[in-house]
């Protein structure tokens, strides 16, 4: 039983960590921009998926105007980005130049479908229609080739550093356990052994519903051939 709890815990843990990283780390799309606009947004249940007002402005209101960049990929799929300051908050992009970015995007709008101006648009975040959330654009630059392969060097660097930090943290907890906790445990070791033995006895006496169910399941298995 405890084993399944453990599997569930680690599955949930990794799903959370990976979706957090997938949301926060930058990704790049090659798109042609079709429009830039500003519209008012009333934040509701989805408010944690929105950033904040431009740095230095009042951030108290329940609604404000948000800049948007509408774009289309080469395969015809549409992409809608919001363009908000992250300021000094989370995620730590320290983006203060939304107005400038909006101007750059407006400058790169494709005049027609026949004559596309491709751009590499860096963004983080997710588009979700159910929550009405949009990825936040953080940078844009023009390019000629819509089919080029982009290698995410920045993400490789960040993930490597994170893995190193996680390893360091893991080693430090091991050190902490060895140097600080084990000596204490040794002192109470004998008491603990006694408790452990008693728990083992108790477990043998009462297998519990799950144990009996598993034993029943085991009766369906083939007998090992000798």
Partner 1 sequence: MILGLIRLNIAALALMLIVYFVLSIWSRSVRRKKLGEEWDEEVQTGDRAAYVEEGLEDYDQSLRRKLILGVFVVPYLVIGLLVYVMNFQ
Q: Which residues bind partner 1 (CB under 8 A)?
A: 55-56, 87-89, 92-97, 100, 138-139, 172, 175, 179
Minimum gap (Å) between residue 62 Cβ and partner 1: 19
Report the C-alpha gap between 137 and 133 in whole angstroms.
13
The nearer residue to partner 1, 175 or 210, going by C-beta atoms, is: 175
Q: Which residue has the tokens 């109470």?
A: 188
The nearer residue to partner 1, 25 or 72, going by C-beta atoms, is: 25
Minimum gap (Å) between residue 25 Cβ and partner 1: 14
Minimum gap (Å) between residue 175 Cβ and partner 1: 6
Instruction: Please answer whether residues 105 and 83 qualify as being in contact, where contact means their C-beta atoms are separated by less than 8 angstroms.
Output: yes
Minimum gap (Å) between residue 102 Cβ and partner 1: 13
The nearer residue to partner 1, 66 or 138, going by C-beta atoms, is: 138
- With a CB cutoff of 8 Å and minimum separation 6, the contacts of 139 are 101, 121, 122
Strand partners, 140: 121
Minimum gap (Å) between residue 129 Cβ and partner 1: 28
Instruction: Give yes or no for a cis peptide into 91 (omega within 30° of 0).
Output: yes
HSE of 224, CA atoms in CB hemisphere, 13 A: 1
The nearer residue to partner 1, 8 or 99, going by C-beta atoms, is: 99
DSSP type of residue 177: I
Classify each residue of 11-47 as buried b or exposed e, where b means 16 or more C-beta atoms within 10 Å of its C-beta.
eeeeeeeeeeeeeeebebbbbbbeebeeeebeeeeee
Identify the CA nearest to 138 among candidates 106, 102, 107.
102
Minimum gap (Å) between residue 100 Cβ and partner 1: 8
Q: What angle do CA 111, 112, 118 make, to 5 degrees?
A: 75
The nearer residue to partner 1, 87 or 135, going by C-beta atoms, is: 87
Other C-beta atoms closer than 10 Å to the C-beta of 99 total 12
The nearer residue to partner 1, 94 or 213, going by C-beta atoms, is: 94
The nearer residue to partner 1, 9 or 175, going by C-beta atoms, is: 175
Minimum gap (Å) between residue 56 Cβ and partner 1: 4
């Amino acid at each position: 039983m405890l084993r399944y709890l453990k599997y569930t815990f680690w599955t949930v843990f990794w799903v959370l960590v990976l979706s957090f990283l997938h949301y926060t780390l930058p990704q790049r799309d090659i798109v042609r921009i079709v429009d830039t606009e500003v519209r008012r947004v009333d934040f509701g249940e989805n408010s944690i998926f929105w950033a904040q007002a431009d740095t230095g402005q009042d951030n108290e209101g329940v609604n404000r105007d948000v800049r948007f960049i509408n774009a289309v990929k080469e395969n015809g799929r549409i992409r809608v980005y919001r363009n908000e300051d992250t300021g000094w908050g989370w995620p730590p992009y320290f983006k203060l130049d939304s107005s400038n970015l909006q101007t750059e995007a407006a400058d790169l709008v494709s005049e027609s479908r026949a004559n596309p101006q491709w751009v590499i648009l860096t963004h983080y975040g997710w588009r979700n229609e159910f929550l009405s959330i949009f990825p936040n654009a953080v940078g844009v630059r023009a390019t000629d080739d819509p089919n080029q392969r982009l290698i995410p060097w920045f993400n490789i660097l960040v993930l490597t550093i994170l893995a190193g930090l996680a390893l360091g943290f893991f080693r430090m907890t091991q050190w902490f356990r060895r140097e600080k906790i084990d000596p204490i445990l040794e002192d109470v070791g004998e008491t603990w052994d006694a408790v452990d033995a008693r728990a083992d006895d108790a477990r043998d006496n009462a297998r519990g519903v799950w144990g009996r169910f598993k034993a029943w399941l085991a009766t369906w298995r083939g007998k090992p051939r000798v």
